[in-house]
């Protein structure tokens, strides 16, 4: 009886234990998980929550980048013990890993390496490779900015830029684009009035015809002058009053006089004492067809059509000619003394330039972009860097839409953009020629009065392999990159910082033609596949516009 009872108890105990095993584990999963982990680590199988098994080894290069040797598994299976791993010197093991030694150097770091790039190259975003900052070779162009240029110096020649991807045309202007407010004063525009057909060389004063000089007027004297009506294109007579008589100029104001006595004195003295000598010494001598040794400055109401203008018709012997060396200035500019004298410097440069072309060389005047380039340079010589032109470049829509440096239409509503471009280009030439302002006179005195004169000075002072067209391309790159040295910048000259990127908004879409001397800036995502239907003369240039490329080394290599 006793034996049977004990046996019953033992059987009951076994049954109880078996029940516990069947019912406890599902109800207490935390305990089961802990027991499972402890039991799994070291069982020869890498469980889901394990990295490795004790005793396992791995090549350090498989565990982390930049190290060699053997790693061993931690006893708790949680990861790799890398205490025996040794830093790999990628620079020594793989010469040229950053690129050719002529432009790239490699510095080993703990577990990695860093590339340092020479001028003209930039590192990839991970500093693992030096890549060309400028990509001139197609058919795929690398960069975050695409520059499209029509490499023809003649702005009359247009070329199809090629069919652009629709996704490119639909892109918004990159956030890095900067747009400045336009100048607060009226946009500066002037005119060089074309000669009528009847103004033949035999009628030129000072060359084939001569007149007797008249005595100087006194302040308050009145006289009639011929002027130009921009709205009708006709000449008309207007009465004026002498408001200043000086050593180098006689200033007249259209009636009713709106130029104050103070402004007339201030402006007249500035011309006598500074502007006359500075412009004639820098550019060329003034003409003197009326033999009085003075320039006539006529302040008039130009109807808001021009800040000033010059007409060489006044140097011809006709009844409706003023027969004097003169420039016309919008009377409203007199309220801003520094603005007025800047315009006077501009127009007076036209006069001395014309003297060389028409009266000395007896040749047609240079192209408009050259004449205006010289006259905006006259402003620069007199007043220093012209920030209004930079502001115009940064805000003018036509410039963003590919405006040419060399194509001009005085009647265009956006003509101010032409002034900004030719001003910046002529300063770019001056900086890189190394000749200072002497370059201007050399161009004015050159023999052809066209692009060949620019070719000559470019090849003489900058590079014998360059010409005007290629220099216009370099100028466009400089506007994007503005490097401190080399042709792709302005050599840190004061004033040229803050030139904005002018991204093309896509105006014209896939039927867009670019004039010679024109350019477009387009934001791209690392590369651009050139279309195969562009016209000759169109050139694509990929540019990394920042300090680094926006792709990694592997992405650049296409890996």
Digitized pLDDT (tens) for each residue of the chain, 559 residues in all: 333 333 332 333 333 334 433 333 333 433 344 444 455 898 888 988 899 999 999 998 888 878 888 999 999 999 999 888 988 898 998 999 999 999 999 999 888 899 999 999 999 999 999 999 999 998 999 999 999 999 999 999 999 999 998 877 656 455 444 444 444 445 556 777 888 899 999 999 988 899 999 999 999 999 999 999 888 888 999 999 999 999 999 999 999 999 999 999 999 999 999 999 999 999 999 999 999 999 999 999 987 678 899 999 999 999 999 999 999 999 998 888 788 999 999 999 999 999 999 999 988 888 999 999 999 999 999 999 999 999 999 999 999 999 999 999 888 878 899 999 999 999 999 999 999 999 999 999 998 888 899 999 999 999 999 999 999 999 999 999 999 999 999 999 999 999 999 999 887 778 899 999 999 999 999 999 999 999 999 999 999 999 999 999 999 988 6
**Does a structural domain hold residue 249?**
yes
**Does a structural domain hold residue 344?**
yes
**pLDDT for the residue numbered 84:** 87
**Does a structural domain hold residue 541?**
no
Q: 3-class DSSP state for residue 207?
A: coil
Matching residue, tokens 């991970």: 126
Q: What are phi and psi of 521, to 5 degrees?
A: -110, 130
**Does a structural domain hold residue 555?**
no
Matching residue, tokens 């500035």: 270
**pLDDT for the residue numbered 532:** 94
Under 8 Å between Cβ of 235 and 195: no
Contacts of 265 (CB under 8 A, 6+ apart): 244
Residue 192 bridge partners (DSSP) = 310
Give the domain CATH number at 277: 3.30.2010.30
In whole angstroms, what is the distance from residue 445 CA to residue 2 CA?
137
In whole angstroms, what is the distance from residue 83 CA to residue 57 CA?
12
Contacts of 120 (CB under 8 A, 6+ apart): 103, 132, 133, 134, 486
Cis peptide before 73 (omega within 30 of 0): no
Contacts of 50 (CB under 8 A, 6+ apart): 40, 41, 77, 78
Can you read off the two tokens belonging to residue 388? 């209004």
**pLDDT for the residue numbered 156:** 96
**pLDDT for the residue numbered 173:** 57
Q: 3-class DSSP state for residue 268?
A: helix
Under 8 Å between Cβ of 401 and 518: no
**Does a structural domain hold residue 326?**
yes
- Residue 482: alpha-carbon gap to chain centroid: 7
Matching residue, tokens 């001569």: 210
pTM of the predicted structure, to 2 decimals: 0.84
In whole angstroms, what is the distance from residue 281 CA to residue 457 CA?
20
**Does a structural domain hold residue 351?**
yes
**Does a structural domain hold residue 330?**
yes
Domain count along the chain: 1
Provide the terminal-to-terminal Cα distance of the chain, rounded to the nearest Å. Answer: 85
Can you read off the two tokens belonging to residue 287? 């003409």
Under 8 Å between Cβ of 327 and 298: yes
Matching residue, tokens 């007339």: 264
In whole angstroms, what is the distance from residue 418 CA to residue 135 CA?
28
- Number of Cβ atoms within 10 Å of the Cβ of 459: 15
Domain that holds residue 255: 204-362
Cite the DSSP H helix spans in 52-121.
Answer: 60-63, 90-93
- Number of Cβ atoms within 10 Å of the Cβ of 44: 9
DSSP 8-class letter at 493: -
In whole angstroms, what is the distance from residue 218 CA to residue 172 CA?
62
DSSP 8-class letter at 193: E
Task: Tell me the residue ranges of DSSP E strands in 103-166.
Answer: 104-109, 112-117, 121-123, 130-132, 134-135, 140-150, 158-160
**Does a structural domain hold residue 316?**
yes
Question: Residue 349's closest CA among 439, 259, 441?
Answer: 441
């Amino acid at each position: 009886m006793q034996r049977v009872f004990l046996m019953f108890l033992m059987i009951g105990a076994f049954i109880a234990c078996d029940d516990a095993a069947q019912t406890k584990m599902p109800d207490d999963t935390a305990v089961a998980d802990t027991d499972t982990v402890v039991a799994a680590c070291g069982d020869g199988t890498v469980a889901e929550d394990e990295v490795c098994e004790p005793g396992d080894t791995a090549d350090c290069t498989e565990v982390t980048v930049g190290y060699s040797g053997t790693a061993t598994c931690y006893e708790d299976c949680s990861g790799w013990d890398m205490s025996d791993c040794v830093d790999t010197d990628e620079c020594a093991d793989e010469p040229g890993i950053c690129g050719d030694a002529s432009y790239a150097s490699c510095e080993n770091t703990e577990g990695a390496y860093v590339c340092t790039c020479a001028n003209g190259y930039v590192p990839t975003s991970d500093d693992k490779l030096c890549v060309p900052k400028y990509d001139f070779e197609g058919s795929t162009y690398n960069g975050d900015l695409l520059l499209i240029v029509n490499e023809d110096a003649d702005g009359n020649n247009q070329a199809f830029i090629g069919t652009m991807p629709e996704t490119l045309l639909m892109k918004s202007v990159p956030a890095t684009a900067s747009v400045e407010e336009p100048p607060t004063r009226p946009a500066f525009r002037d005119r060089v009035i074309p000669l009528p057909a009847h103004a033949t060389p035999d009628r030129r004063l000072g060359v084939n015809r001569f007149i007797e000089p008249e005595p100087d007027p006194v302040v308050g004297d009145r006289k009639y002058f011929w002027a130009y009506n921009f709205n009708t294109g006709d000449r008309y007579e207007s009465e004026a009053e002498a408001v200043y008589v000086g050593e180098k100029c006689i200033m007249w104001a259209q009636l009713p006089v709106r130029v104050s006595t103070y402004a007339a004195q201030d402006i007249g003295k500035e011309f006598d004492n500074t502007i006359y000598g500075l412009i004639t010494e820098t550019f060329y001598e003034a003409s003197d067809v009326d033999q009085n040794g003075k320039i006539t400055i006529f302040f008039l109401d130009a109807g808001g059509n021009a800040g000033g203008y010059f007409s060489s018709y006044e140097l011809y012997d006709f009844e409706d000619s003023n027969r004097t060396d003169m420039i016309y200035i919008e009377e409203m500019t007199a309220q801003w003394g520094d603005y007025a004298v800047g315009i006077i410097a501009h127009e007076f440069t036209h006069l001395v330039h014309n003297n060389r072309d028409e009266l000395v060389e007896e040749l047609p005047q240079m192209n408009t972009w050259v004449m205006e380039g010289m006259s905006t340079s006259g402003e620069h010589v007199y007043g220093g860097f012209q920030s209004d032109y930079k502001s115009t470049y940064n805000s003018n829509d036509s410039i963003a839409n590919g405006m040419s440096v060399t194509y001009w239409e005085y009647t265009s509503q956006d003509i101010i953009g032409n002034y900004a471009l030719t001003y910046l280009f002529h300063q770019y030439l001056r900086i890189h020629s190394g000749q200072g302002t002497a370059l201007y006179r050399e161009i004015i005195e050159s023999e052809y009065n066209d692009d060949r004169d620019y070719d000559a000075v470019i090849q003489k002072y900058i590079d014998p392999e360059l010409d005007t067209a290629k220099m216009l391309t370099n100028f466009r790159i400089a506007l994007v990159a503005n490097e401190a040295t080399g042709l792709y910048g302005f050599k840190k000259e004061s004033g040229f910082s803050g030139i904005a990127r002018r991204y093309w908004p896509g105006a014209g879409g896939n039927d867009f033609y670019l004039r010679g001397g024109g350019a477009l800036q387009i934001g791209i995502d690392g590369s651009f596949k050139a279309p195969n239907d562009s016209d000759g003369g169109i050139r694509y240039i990929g540019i990394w516009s920042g300090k680094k490329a926006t792709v990694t080394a592997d992405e650049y290599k296409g890996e």
